[in-house]
């Protein structure tokens, strides 16, 4: 069974996960700033039959179309920076690592 998803859906899910991590970190003492997010994806390109849609990019999962259609996949590399829409500041997420810091 193919697990391919549209590139736009993948980026929306990534945005949602960063937002969730940010909310979960709101009351944490230790925060991590996201300087960059590096993605390397195998994608296949499909021209849409609909007039105004243009092309769709599908992220190919391992074990999916990559083996059968490797000649039709392309490697896409992206570097993203997570920014707060209101302030333009880099997003900070966190985790409670106080136990680890005190263990030394």
Mean pLDDT for 67-92 is 79
C-beta of residue 7 within 8 angstroms of C-beta of residue 69: no
Q: What is the pLDDT of residues 33-66, one digit of tens each?
A: 888 999 998 888 877 666 566 777 888 876 554 4
Q: Where does residue 39 rank: exposed (0-12), middle (13-18), buried (19+ CB within 10 A)?
A: middle
C-beta of residue 4 within 8 angstroms of C-beta of residue 59: yes
pTM higher than 0.75 for the full model? no
**CA separation for the pair 62, 2 (Å, rounded):** 9
* 13 vs 103: which has the higher pLDDT: 13
Q: What is the pLDDT of residues 80-91, one digit of tens each?
A: 988 888 888 888
């Amino acid at each position: 069974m193919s697990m391919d998803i549209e590139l736009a859906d993948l980026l929306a899910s990534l945005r949602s996960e960063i937002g969730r991590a940010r909310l979960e970190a709101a009351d944490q003492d230790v925060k991590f700033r996201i300087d960059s997010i590096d993605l390397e994806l195998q994608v296949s390109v499909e021209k849409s039959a609909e007039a105004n849609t243009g092309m769709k990019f599908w992220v190919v999962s391992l074990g999916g179309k990559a083996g059968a259609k490797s000649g039709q996949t392309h490697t896409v590399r992206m570097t993203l920076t997570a920014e707060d829409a209101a302030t333009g500041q880099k997003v900070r997420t966190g985790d409670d690592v106080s136990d680890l810091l005190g263990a030394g």
